[in-house]
């Protein structure tokens, strides 16, 4: 297949960053505080390094397979049958994770913005918008990511910087107070927040300048890690670890507590809520596109417009299945281990270890 290579450095950077940083960013400090108290940021950095390692392995895999699309790499390495199974499992993971995220997103919207609107409607609107973008093909997706990055992070970073004023740095201490087992558990939970980097499998074949890829991957991972760690630190500074443990969405509470004198918006969470739509939407639409693309290849349907229409009701149903927010988090936690090991460990390593087999269409040479 010869697609045009149109993704630049910034395109790759922004795609990975906006896909990874999603709704998780808002509850992350609390989960960390519950697991390892004040060491959340250290665990975050460690998790970031691990994910960077996995990302570089992915790069090596794609590189070795001459930047073929992900479906081709997997079926070449593992054979058609096993390859298809792995791909379908991955799609299940993506769709599931996106649907859970959708439900969390809807719950937050209902709590903060629209108490009386039915969840079904909120979800439908989101899904239809996602369909609109997916139908526009991958070049539009990457361009959308590039713009979303600016919209998402420039205001957020400015807002968060203002919150540093009310915090107390000493709240971050003491450090290193927990047992290795707790650190390990926290590490696993933390890596779940970094999920989404698999999108690089989708994008790397379209990258224009292959020499700069490694640097771009490192810088995007660095940005993500610093963002998460920064949010954790700011929450700890402002709320102390005990209070952070109790908040469901500490980042939101942080924003709520900000006082910027002289502005006419007193309660910034409204603005941040509007921004949050972007955070979730970018994660959602990128993974939705990737899954639709993989299903399209797997079932040999020619058009991503068809597969995305098939996946849309699946997301809708899964998102509406849990009865309340606790069930949602429960479902998420129970499936974390399986999916994380699949996506973080199994796929990259297996593809790395088993060298790519025949090229598509060519004979096998002994």
What CA–CA distance (Å, rounded) separates 127 from 288? 10
Q: What is the DSSP string of 150-201?
A: HHHHHHHHHHHHHHGGG--GGGG-----S-HHHHHHHHHHHHHHTTTTTHHH
Q: Cβ closer to another protein: 12 or 52?
A: 12
Distance of closest approach, residue 151 Cβ to another protein, in angstroms = 8
Cα 288 to Cα 282: distance, rounded to the nearest angstrom: 10
What is the Cα–Cα distance from 89 to 92, expressed in whole angstroms?
5
The answer to whether 7 touches 210, Cβ cutoff 8 Å, is no
Q: Is 136 in the site for another protein (CB under 8 A)?
A: yes
Q: What CA–CA distances, in Å, run from 214 to 9, 147, 152, 209, 222?
A: 10, 22, 24, 11, 12
CB of 140 to another protein, least distance (A): 5
Q: Of 59 and 278, which CB lies nearer to another protein in the complex structure?
A: 278
Residue 236 CB, shortest distance to another protein, in Å, is 27
Q: Give the tokens for residue 216.
A: 């771009």
**Per-residue contact flags (x/-) with another protein for residues 79 to 118, judged by CB under 8 A:** ------------------------------x---xx--x-
Q: Which of 239, 249, 281, 339 binds another protein (CB under 8 A)?
A: 281
Residues 181-210 that bind another protein (CB under 8 A): none
Q: Cα(233)–Cα(58) distance, rounded to whole angstroms?
A: 30
Is 335:195 a contact under the CB 8 Å cutoff? no
Using an 8 Å Cβ cutoff, are 87 and 296 in contact?
no
Residues whose CB falls within 8 Å of the CB of residue 182, separated by 6 or more in sequence, listed in order: 35, 36
In the bound state with another protein, the residue whose beta carbon lies nearer, of 120 and 330, is 120
Which listed residue (72, 269, 293, 297) binds another protein by CB under 8 A?
Answer: 269
278 binds another protein (CB under 8 A): yes
Q: Which stretch binds another protein (CB under 8 A): 54-62, 223-231, 260-268, 349-357?
A: 260-268
- Of the candidates 29, 39, 40, the residue with the CA atom closest to the CA atom of residue 245: 29
Q: Which is nearer to another protein, 8 or 356 (CB)?
A: 8
Task: Judge whether 209 and 12 are in contact, CB under 8 Å.
Answer: no
Q: Does 121 bind another protein (CB under 8 A)?
A: yes
Q: Going by C-beta distance under 8 Å and a sequence separation of 6 or more, which residues neighbour residue 2? A: none
**Which region among 95-103, 139-147, 318-326, 339-347 touches another protein (by CB under 8 A)?**
139-147
| Minimum distance of another protein from residue 319's CB (angstroms) | 15
Binding mask 9-48 for another protein (x = CB under 8 A): -xx-------------------------------------
CB 107 to another protein: min, Å? 13
Looking at the Cβ atoms of 4 and 181, the one nearer to another protein is 4
Those residues with Cβ within 8 angstroms of residue 236's Cβ, 6 or more apart along the chain or in another chain = 29, 33, 38, 40, 41, 171, 172, 244
Angle between helices 24-36 and 269-298 (to 10 degrees): 100
Q: Tell me which stretch binds another protein (CB under 8 A): 3-11, 54-62, 177-185, 209-217.
A: 3-11
61 and 198 in contact (C-beta within 8 Å)? Answer: no
Nearer to another protein, 147 or 337 (CB): 147
Kindly tell me which residue out of 34, 119, 129, 185 binds another protein, with binding defined by CB under 8 A: 129
289 vs 278: CA distance, rounded Å: 16
Window 143 to 162, contacts with another protein (CB under 8 A): 143-144, 146-148
Q: Is there binding between residue 277 and another protein (CB under 8 A)?
A: yes
Q: Does 122 bind another protein (CB under 8 A)?
A: yes
* Residues near another protein (CB under 8 A): 6, 8, 10-11, 109, 113-114, 117, 121-122, 125-126, 129, 132-133, 136, 140, 143-144, 146-148, 264-267, 269-270, 273-275, 277-278, 281
């Amino acid at each position: 297949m010869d697609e045009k290579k149109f993704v630049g450095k910034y395109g790759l950077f922004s795609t990975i960053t906006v896909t990874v940083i999603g709704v998780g960013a808002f509850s992350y400090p609390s989960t960390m505080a519950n697991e390892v108290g004040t060491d959340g940021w250290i665990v975050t950095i460690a998790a970031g390094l691990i994910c960077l390692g996995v990302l570089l392995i992915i790069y090596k895999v794609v590189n070795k397979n001459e930047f073929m699309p992900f479906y081709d790499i997997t079926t070449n390495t593992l054979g058609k049958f096993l390859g298809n199974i792995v791909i379908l499992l991955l799609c299940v993971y993506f769709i599931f994770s996106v649907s859970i995220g959708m439900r969390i997103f809807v719950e937050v919207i209902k709590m903060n913005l629209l108490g009386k609107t039915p969840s079904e409607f909120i979800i439908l609107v989101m899904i239809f918008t996602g369909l609109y973008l997916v139908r526009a093909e991958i070049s539009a997706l990457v361009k959308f990511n590039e713009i979303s990055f600016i919209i998402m992070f420039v205001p957020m970073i400015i807002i968060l910087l203002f919150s540093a004023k009310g915090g107390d740095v000493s709240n971050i201490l003491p450090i290193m107070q927990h047992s290795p087992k707790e650190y390990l558990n926290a590490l696993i939970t933390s890596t779940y927040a970094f999920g989404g980097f698999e999108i690089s499998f989708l994008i790397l074949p379209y990258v224009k300048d292959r020499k700069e890829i490694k640097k771009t991957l490192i810088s995007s991972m660095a940005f993500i890690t610093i963002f998460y760690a920064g949010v954790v630190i700011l929450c700890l500074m402002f709320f102390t670890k005990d209070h952070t443990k109790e908040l469901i969405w500490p980042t939101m509470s942080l924003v709520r507590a900000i006082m910027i004198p002289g502005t006419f918006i007193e309660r910034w969470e409204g603005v941040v809520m509007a921004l949050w739509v972007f955070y979730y939407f970018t994660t959602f639409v990128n993974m939705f596109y990737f899954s639709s693309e993989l299903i399209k290849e797997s079932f040999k349907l020619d058009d991503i417009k068809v597969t995305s229409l098939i996946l849309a009701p699946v997301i809708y149903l899964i998102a509406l299945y849990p009865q309340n927010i606790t069930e949602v988090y429960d479902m998420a936690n129970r499936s974390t281990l399986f999916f994380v090991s699949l996506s973080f460990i199994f796929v990259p390593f297996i593809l790395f270890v088993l060298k790519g087999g025949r090229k598509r269409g060519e004979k096998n040479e002994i």
